[in-house]
Amino acid sequence: MQKTIEKLKELTKDVVLLEHAVATLSWDQETYMPPKAIGEKGEQLALLQGILHEKITSSDIGKLLDDLGADDNNPAGKSDSLSPTNSAYIKETYRQYKIQTRLSKKLVTDLALETSLSQASWIEARKKSDFSLFQPHLEKVLELTKQKAEAVGYKETPYDALLDEFEPWSTTKEVADIFNSTQPWLTDFIGKIKNSKQVDDSFLLKDFDISKQEIFGRKVLQDMGYTYDRGRLDVSVHPFTTTLGKDDIRLTTRYQKDFFKTGLFGIIHECGHGLYELGFGDKVRGNLLASGTSLGIHESQSRTWENVIGRSMSFWKYYYPELQKYFPENLTGISLNEFYRGINKVEPSLIRVEADEVTYNLHIILRFQLEQELISGALSAGDLPDAWNKKTKDFFGITPDTDANGVLQDIHWPMGAFGYFPTYALGNLYSAQFSSVMEKDINVNESLENGNLSDILDWLRNKIHIHGASKSAEELVLDISGEKLNPEYFKKYLENKYKQIYNL
């Protein structure tokens, strides 16, 4: 038994190494690649994805999983004598093996190739704010994505198959139920804020020297516990975190001269992702369980750092005097309280990644609804811009001025990541639920006011990071908070914070 598991780990190690090689090529594509290299980069990625597919679907792995008794009813195999980590290892291997064996190598490489080209067309389309440049690529990617969903299979709707890739063991219905229960509350809460006196954040829209933004951002990164011996920070169009090796977890961000929040909160957000990957314990490090257990949980880490911590009064009690020294021309005379209210301004807006934490989940629900329609066929790619604009008007009362500020703003559809968006909103919900426990365990505010971020990192590491994917999202949230994912925590978190800011 032990020998079979060791053999399985040996075979799946190549899968992990190849995933990291793919991540290296993708990171390069987003950061340093010369523009004309895109065509062949797509071919290279398609080839590697094909080889990866061969590896994970190898009959050797199938045979070992068989020997361990893993099947749809017993994804972790049939033995009772396994350690929890080994059970989780078999379960995760089975999940990936099962999905991948249902996909043809052709479909995998076609998807890799098309999504690479589609991302390139999206960059161009976004630059020119011209959806028509992207539309034919979106159509191809959608067609392949539908084929993928059919091949993988699902219980109720093709979207289930897509969601499972990012949020394993979750269903469309579960997510829809949670979103449906928060949407009216959010709309109502935003309405109350709208009727209150708006806060002033005009001082954040001044000229913030980018090199100083970077220095300050790197200072916070260091305080958060991120180190450059196992990582990097670079610039890309769309910020992301990626794992190129068990000791190579890289962040990217982007800076806007006239919008201070993008750079710093982007860095803190990505660093939250990075610390998760850097914190995997020895039992999972470098193997198939060395990944976020779901993207929702992953996002809970970035959102905890970005919002619960990074937009808190206590955090800025420590950092604001320092920030004022960096940007005296903009921040002299702006009190801590004004600054705190400014960075937490709630306002319906067009761009998801710049949205405040109250309106943010509405951006997600919008995308969640649209992508379900795209996958079901109820909505065609050509009709997407109109549908996008209409829903933006419904949800936020505003209409995008350009496609670049509307339907073309996100990289996810260009990269074929349908089913990904909901994980962002789930992340906010998980974050609130985890944080409420963390605040009982340690004195978060006191730590923050002393500029001590290590207690927080330790808590997150021991409760969440260390496990990697050896505990499912559901197990994690149950272990930590004693209950299933419950959106009430998020509502309470928002209420506490914003009632004070907006005097509701």
Binding site for a second copy (CB under 8 A): 14, 17-18, 20-21, 24-25, 28, 32-37, 39-41, 43-44, 47-48, 51, 228-232, 234, 244-248, 250, 286
Between 51 and 289, name the residue whose CB sits nearer to a second copy.
51
Helices and strands per DSSP (H, E), number in the chain: 21, 3
Between 111 and 408, name the residue whose CB sits nearer to a second copy.
111
Between 244 and 379, name the residue whose CB sits nearer to a second copy.
244
Q: How far is the CB of 302 from a second copy (least distance, A)?
A: 20
Structure tokens at 304: 């905890």
Q: How far is the CB of 41 from a second copy (least distance, A)?
A: 6
Calpha distance 176→183 (Å, rounded): 10
**β-pair type (248-253, 241-245):** antiparallel
Residue 103: CB atoms within 10 Å: 16
Q: How far is the CB of 110 from a second copy (least distance, A)?
A: 16
Kindly write down the DSSP assignment for every residue of 349-406, as one continuous string: -S-GGG--TTTHHHHHHHHHHHHHHHHHTSS-GGGHHHHHHHHHHHHHS---SSSTTT
Calpha distance 97→99 (Å, rounded): 6
The candidate with the shortest Cα–Cα distance to 352, out of 290, 396, 286, is 396
Q: How far is the CB of 39 from a second copy (least distance, A)?
A: 7
CA 294 to chain centre: 9
Calpha distance 32→20 (Å, rounded): 17
Q: How far is the CB of 241 from a second copy (least distance, A)?
A: 14
Q: How far is the CB of 38 from a second copy (least distance, A)?
A: 8
CB 366 within 8 A of CB 217: no
Kindly write down the DSSP assignment for every residue of 270-302, as one continuous string: HHHHHHHHHT--TTTTTSTT-S-S-HHHHHHHH
Q: How far is the CB of 339 from a second copy (least distance, A)?
A: 33
Between 251 and 355, name the residue whose CB sits nearer to a second copy.
251
Calpha distance 476→169 (Å, rounded): 13
Known catalytic residues are 270
Between 188 and 229, name the residue whose CB sits nearer to a second copy.
229
CB 313 within 8 A of CB 440: no
CB 89 within 8 A of CB 79: no
